[in-house]
Amino acid sequence: MSDELGEHRARLAQAFDLGFALPFSSERPELRDFLVLRLGAHRYAVPVGELAGVQNRKTIQYLPDAPAHCLGLAGVRGRVGAIYDLGGLLGSPTSDRLSWFLQARLDPEIALLAPKPDRYLRVPVDRIVLCVETDGATVGALTDEELAINVLSVDRLIEAISNAGRGRVA
C-alpha cells in the first residue's frame, strides 16, 4: 500500500513540476455569446453577435394586411421597425410571455418579438456543433450543463423575411 501511495505522490509531484517547466500560455478559448430563450417545449440560443439590440416590448401598431407572422410596427431603439413573431416564424406555439424585441443586426428595421431570455451564455466554440444543412433557422446546437440547445440564425430568419417580401421563397 505504501508503494502505491509513494508512486502516486511522485506522479503528482512530477505533474506539478512540469506545470512550471512548460512556457506560460496566454491562449484563451474563443467564446461566443448567446441569449437562451424558450419557445414552447424547445430552448433556443440566439447569437448576440447577430443582434443590433434588445429592448422591452413597446406598443405594437397592428397592420390589417401584414405579411405572415408580421404583427405590425413599433418603435425599436429610435427606429420604426416591423415586428415579427419569433415563435410563429419557427412554428412554435405563440406564448403570452412575448415581452422582448430582438432587433436584427442585418436589418435594424426588423425586430423579433420573443419571450424574455432565460439566461445569457458565453460558450467556448468547441461546445457548438454546426449543422451541415443550409436551410432553416436552426444552424446547430450547443451544450450547457448536459442540455442540448438549438442555435438559431437571426440572419437567416431576416433573409427569409426579406426574400418573402420580394416575392421569393427562401
CATH number for position 107? 2.40.50.180
Mean per-residue pLDDT pooled into runs of 10, the chain (170 residues): 77 76 72 92 93 90 88 89 92 76 93 92 89 78 86 93 65
Domain that holds residue 47: 31-165
Kindly state whether residue 54 falls inside one of the protein's structural domains.
Answer: yes
pLDDT of residue 166: 59
Kindly state whether residue 126 falls inside one of the protein's structural domains.
Answer: yes
Q: In angstroms, rounded to a whole number, what is the distance separating the alpha carbons of residues 14 and 84?
A: 60
Count of domains observed in the chain: 1
Give the burial string for 64-75 (b: 16+ CB within 10 Å, else e). eeeeebbbbbbe
DSSP codes joined into one string, 53-68: EEEE----EE-TTPPT
Kindly state whether residue 143 falls inside one of the protein's structural domains.
Answer: yes
Kindly state whether residue 14 falls inside one of the protein's structural domains.
Answer: no
Kindly state whether residue 7 falls inside one of the protein's structural domains.
Answer: no
Kindly state whether residue 25 falls inside one of the protein's structural domains.
Answer: no
Kindly state whether residue 1 falls inside one of the protein's structural domains.
Answer: no
Kindly state whether residue 5 falls inside one of the protein's structural domains.
Answer: no
pLDDT of residue 168: 43
Place of cell 408580421: 70
